[in-house]
Amino acid sequence: MPKTVGIGITGGIAAYKIADLVSRLKKDERDIDVIVVMTEGAARFITPLTMKTLSGREVLTDIWAPSQEWKVQHIGIAEQLDLLVIAPATANFIAKIACGIGDDLLSTIVLANTAPLLVVPAMNTNMYRNAIVQENIKKLVNTGINVMEPATGVLACGASGEGRLPEVESIYEQITTMLFPRTELLGKRVLVNAGTTCEDIDPVRFISNRGTGKMGYAIAEEAASRGADVILVSGRTHLAPPPGVKVISVWGAEEMCNAMLKYQPACDIIIGAAAVGDFTVARAAQQKIKKTGNGDQTLVLELVGTPDILKTLGARKQPGQIMVGFAAETENLLENALHKLAAKNLDVIVANDITMEGAGFAIDTNIVTIIDRNGEITALPKMTKRDVATAIIDKIAALL
């Protein structure tokens, strides 16, 4: 049975990239019908004629235009959709959705829409990081709307940072996943940890690491998209919670370990993707440590080890439970990964050399090698962290 996707294009420079997205959807062999709706701003960046040619049907732009197909245009369109996508989604249009404003054709369709909604932000880095924009995005997520994380890189304005439209291939894959969901993990409960842990020095300062949570959040989202009941134990991160995932927020390594132990008995699959700090301060100060002198003060911290979360869980592993860990290394990648695989009683370990360009922390890509307990080694090329998450969940599904 054909699926109908509404592609809402708003007025951002990335609008031109949506031509490729529409083309890919129309070429999909699973019979996807595409209805393109453009705002007035979008039509200044790319013409409706281009989208009409690629989609094979009239492009809708005017809320007041008479319609031969629908008695009430925005209601009729909304009722026909299996999925509505807003890409690129500008800060202005995100605010409209968050506030329930309907002042043009696309925004009224959003209000009338009952199908799943996917919002793909794209804008200048400072605009994306603006506190009000972030609050609006959180509001969308909290109401069950799917919001893709923007990519990081050089923007059209010349700045470099967050705010780029994700690669068209990633958007296409997200759309097809939502239209044709995979169900290999239906009925399974997955426990994932992500983000970085923080250890207090005093009430103001803490020690941490470079982890951002991007890899773990991508894994949680991918598992949920395949039908799993996902619990995400998250350390510090700036990321919005993945839709449909239960998030448990923690601060330090011990708190994260306790949370993981609490949920372990009820879970079929456990994936340790968090950047857990190896050390904590032996005696954190109860009051802020004051700076004295002219900057020549010396502060000595006594550090002690934190719990090895995966090793602790591995010792309590239940029959049939699958455990996956990560090995972020700077040398002897395979040797260190194989040692951790055995020592922590894991079924799979995902190893990456964080010194390689395109791998490591705070970027959208990774380069990993997946090793299982049977000794099978799969080296993957550089790919997005969401694609790495797909490969990891594929591996787990094969083990099941």
Alpha carbon distance 11, 391 (integer Å) = 34
User: CA 191 to CA 310: how far, in whole Å?
Assistant: 12
List the Cα angle 152/156/159 in 5-degree steps. 60
Q: CA 361, CA 367: separation in Å to the nearest integer?
A: 11
Measured distance CA(336)–CA(175) in Å, rounded? 38
Rounded Cα distance, 275 and 258, in Å: 16
Contacts of 393 (CB under 8 A, 6+ apart): 184, 185, 219, 222, 223, 226
Burial of 44 (0-12, 13-18, 19+ CB in 10 A): exposed
110 token code pair? 């959003």
Instruction: Give catalytic status of residue 198 as yes or no.
Output: no
Q: Which one is catalytic: 99, 157, 257, 267?
A: 157
For the stretch 369-375, contacts whose Cβ atoms lie closer than 8 Å and that sit 24 or more positions apart, written own/partner, are 369/333, 369/334, 369/337, 370/395, 371/334, 371/337, 371/338, 371/341, 372/347, 372/348, 372/399, 373/341, 373/346, 373/347, 373/348
CB-based contact 150:133 (threshold 8 Å)? no
How would you classify residue 96: left for phi > 0, otherwise alpha for psi between -120 and 50, otherwise beta?
Answer: alpha
DSSP label of 362: S
Determine if residue 265 is left, alpha or beta; phi over 0 gives left, psi from -120 to 50 gives alpha, anything else beta.
Answer: alpha
Q: How far apart are CA 313 and CA 331, in angstroms?
A: 26
Length of the chain counted residue by residue: 400
Gap between the Cα atoms of 46 and 147, Å rounded: 23
User: Do 309 and 257 meet the contact criterion of CB atoms below 8 Å apart?
Assistant: yes
Indicate which residues carry an active-site annotation: 157
